[in-house]
């Protein structure tokens, strides 16, 4: 990300929101940029995950300065692996019906 493309703005948030995000170790500026990108995008996916996965995601994305777009190649690979696994399961199911 090029810092020359960033601008400073002031926001108002409730104290409890700030405290909760701080406790979670979330970079508030990065988090807000991601939310804005998601809102403005026609290509957004929302995935519900477990607590541990969410913590790992927050640590990697908000602390590294990366954006969700950097995650896409890894997500595509995970989807390919999931599809391959589902195909194997369906082939096994089909094989069981033949017997």
Tell me: pLDDT of 2 over 70. no
> If we measure between CA atoms, which residue out of 97, 37, 24 comes closest to residue 67?
37
- For 62, other C-beta atoms within 10 Å of its C-beta total 20
Rg (alpha carbons) of the chain, rounded to whole number = 19
**Full DSSP string of 69-87:** GGGHHHHHHHHHHHHHHHH
For residues 23, 48, 44 and 5, what is the CA-based torsion angle, rounded to 10 degrees? Answer: 10
Q: What is the pLDDT of residues 5-57, one digit of tens each?
A: 888 999 999 999 999 999 989 899 988 988 888 888 888 888 889 999 999 98
Q: What pLDDT is recorded for position 47?
A: 86
The length of the chain in residues reads 99
> If we measure between CA atoms, which residue out of 39, 44, 71, 45 comes closest to residue 58?
71
């Amino acid at each position: 990300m090029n810092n020359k493309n960033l601008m400073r703005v002031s926001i108002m948030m409730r104290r409890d929101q700030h405290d909760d995000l701080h406790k979670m170790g979330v970079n508030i500026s990065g988090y807000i940029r991601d939310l804005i990108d998601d809102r403005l995008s026609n290509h957004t996916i929302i995935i519900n995950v477990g607590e541990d996965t969410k913590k790992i995601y927050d640590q990697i994305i908000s602390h590294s300065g990366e954006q969700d777009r950097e995650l896409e190649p890894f997500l595509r690979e995970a989807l390919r692996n999931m599809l391959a696994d589902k195909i194997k399961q369906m082939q096994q199911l089909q094989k069981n019906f033949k017997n």
